[in-house]
Amino acid sequence: MSNKKVMVTGGAGFIGSHLVDAMINNGYEVVIVDNLSTGFKKNINPKAKFFKMDICDKKLTDVFRMERPQIVCHHAAQTVVTRSMSDPVFDAKQNILGSINVLLNCTESNVSKLIYASSGGAVYGEPQYRPVDENHPINPLSPYGISKHVVEHYLQLYGTELGLDYVVLRYANVYGSRQNPKAEAGVVAIFAMQMLGGKQPVIYGSGDKTRDYVHVSDVVAANLLALNKGRQAIYNIGTGIETSDQQMFDTLAHLLRYKGHPQYAPVRKGEISRISLECKNAQSVLGWQPRFSLKDGLAQAINYYRDLC
């Protein structure tokens, strides 16, 4: 068990709240910073200390000085590709300027390590080969992908010049309980709730667009390992398996006994057509590998969404 203090930005959100729970269960003292723009109070672990605050707020410095976290897990972000396309200024403010504010406070408060949630589904752009490893060229197709990658450069700079230890985790498409089915992203949550409600899900494109789906519990496990392993490095966190939108629809329809058919709409700007992530580095250095098969992960997620109906 550990008595270290960890700050989780975005700790009331989908991934962040699961991470907070796991850290508390592993003996960490946890501080949450979240503005609740996309997170929910119901997700907040009562054993964590909560500050309702935007990461862009200058008062974040007061929280750092008061709490003195030893480790920061930075998950607060604008995460919707389509919103980044329509409002790139907002995306840059939240994801770049907000992250710089976090980094400045980390260095001032002598934080020993920062774990940054990046996007393996957006920073690479359209893959030149699959599965994509960490050496693949970076060519994002959306402001969201750009903003997530820009912060990686800041981390490298702060690591080289100021000695900040960090680990970047480039997530594939994360799914599982607490993912918001009313948001614009998160196809598993959206499809499941629409099917349970007797509505017709929308597939953007012909259905052959693929994603690499990784369960939130596996993402949390990677974060826990990165607390003590990896130094100034970047790791993909995914399964290496492509699943098409049509396959996801068909699988969920089978599990939920949904008899309807999807609607098909034009492909949205900024979205890549295919992706899967190579995760050998995470396995060799962090000792991480995904445990949840898509079948088991979807079954768990479906039970959660059934309970919401």
- In angstroms, the CA 273 to CA 291 distance is 26
From 116, 144, 213, 258, the catalytic residue? 144
- In angstroms, the CA 175 to CA 188 distance is 7
Q: Which long-range contacts (CB under 8 A, 24 or more apart) does 160-163 make?
A: 162/107
Angle (nearest 5°) at CA 226 between 222 and 232 = 130
Give yes or no: 144 in active site: yes
Phi-psi region of 121 (alpha: psi -120 to 50; beta: other; left: phi over 0): alpha
Strand, helix or coil for residue 45 = coil
The H-assigned helical ranges of the chain are 14-25, 60-67, 81-86, 88-92, 98-108, 143-162, 187-196, 216-226, 245-256, 280-281, 294-308
DSSP string across 197-255? TT---EEESSS--EE-EEEHHHHHHHHHHHTTS--SEEEEES-S--EEHHHHHHHHHHH
Q: Is residue 6 a contact partner of residue 72, using CB atoms and an 8 Å limit?
A: yes
Instruction: Tell me: cis bond preceding 131? Omega within 30 of 0 counts.
Output: yes
- In angstroms, the CA 60 to CA 111 distance is 14
Q: Is residue 147 a contact partner of residue 154, using CB atoms and an 8 Å limit?
A: no
Start-to-end CA span in the chain (Å): 37
- The DSSP 8-state label assigned to residue 273 in this structure reads S
User: Which residues are designated catalytic?
Assistant: 144
